[in-house]
Structure 1
Amino acid sequence: MAQPRLDFLGVARDEEALYRRLLRQGVGDEPDQVAAETHTETADRLVTLGLATRTHTGALRPVAPARAVEHLIDHRLDALQAELEQTARGNGIVESLQQERETAPAPRPPEEAPTVQQIEGLEAVRAVIDELTFFARTESLTTNPTGIISPESADFSRPIDLRILRRGVRMRTLMAAPALDDADTLSYLRELAAKGAEIRVSHAPLERMIICDRSAALTPLDPSDTAKGALLTREPGLVATLVTLFDRMWAMAQELPTPDDEPPTEIERRILKTLYSADKDESGARDLGISVRTYRKHVASLMTRLHATNRFQAALLARERGWF
């Protein structure tokens, strides 16, 4: 039977051949042929794909097959996600579908589009949120003055939030203090934090808002009853004022606490393992397929939970706890 290939996961023949040789040879004394190939473009490509890592001496070390295939699948899914979203943006499918709404007004020419719009009803507001976040490219800012996310709201928000995070959009979320006492809310927030979201908890009153790319903002018509509707503004001065308000509230809030005895998430386990092998944050983040900022955020959180003074000590303490 023919040997299965990795080309369907975006791996070229020469890249796969080198990876297989590395698996056969391991990280010991390499034959000259393999050693000579560890400083080539093909070798660099293996590191980028997550099939190999480099030791502190520059030697190439193969990643375990299961983990390597997981990286490849993640890369392919990210690429497909980006391709589909780019196509959707390019052919105007969202705008076309929106025009099919029987209750929607006739679309205005761009030059006549209002800078402030009143959105009535919860379903209409949710549709606007979905549209704003779909097109977000750099940053998403959100506040939750009640501090509670119901399971229903989490089910609605999860695909939107995860889509934003997969694209590398910076997500900052401010929660009111009741979040700390609600198990469902904490579970959802930690799920997002594990994916790279930045979350803080405020003990001061919060103003409800959603801001995307610092170019559009959504605020409630009635802060005490968000079901009534919202105001959508794209007026630069108003949006800038809301961003300033958000930044002030953010500066006064505290990081989402993580109990010291809480088991690490899967991404945290993988990060702890890289602390043994990766000599730089950039290489550790690349191995895991996450941003350097997200990688460093997780490392700092783990060191705090483990009361470690350095990263190597964090890895040792984590192993003593049986975390990996």
Structure 2
Amino acid sequence: MAELRARLGLTETQVRSGPDRLVDLDLLRPSRDSPGALRAVSPDLGLELPLRRQEEDLTSRQAELARSKAAAVRAVSEFADLRPDTEVDGAERLVGMDAIQSRLEELAHGPAREFTAILPGGALSEASLEASRPLDRRALGRGIEMRSVYQDSARNDPATLAYTRWLTEKGSQVRTARTARSCRPAC
């Protein structure tokens, strides 16, 4: 063993673990001629098995990746209608003040003749009302017909109620509804 260590420049542990590693790689196998001894396997045959194992592992990983991709595609398609700023069943779904403001700006400058909005959730924030007023004024000034449906609870908010009165004074139609089936004038 000392001669082998010196010749290879390895430690005793490395020299002792070498045959175990070669057995693991199927490059050394038990000898039939000398029980307890090992015999070398031809490298072209010995390397075939580890390469085959790697190929099988790679094939298995590729199949798992394909299954994961398919699951991701299914999840995205199933929940597509929950994504913000998307169209669902012919209606735009805008989430957040920035998205709403951007879309209102586009509409205020666009060639539309009519603007219809359903505003669920009751009262509007002061920021929302302040951002909407100049855009609504511009749209109404261009002759765009505006119709809005608010949730009934918006009647209890003085700022939202004042805003809807301003809209109706400018020619808009504003209604409130408890449910999607009922609708009545806001002011």
Q: Give the TM-score normalised by the residue count of structure 1.
A: 0.28
Q: Which TM-score applies when normalising by structure 2?
A: 0.46
Q: Which has the higher contact order (CA 8 A, sep 6+)?
A: 1
Greater radius of gyration (CA): 2
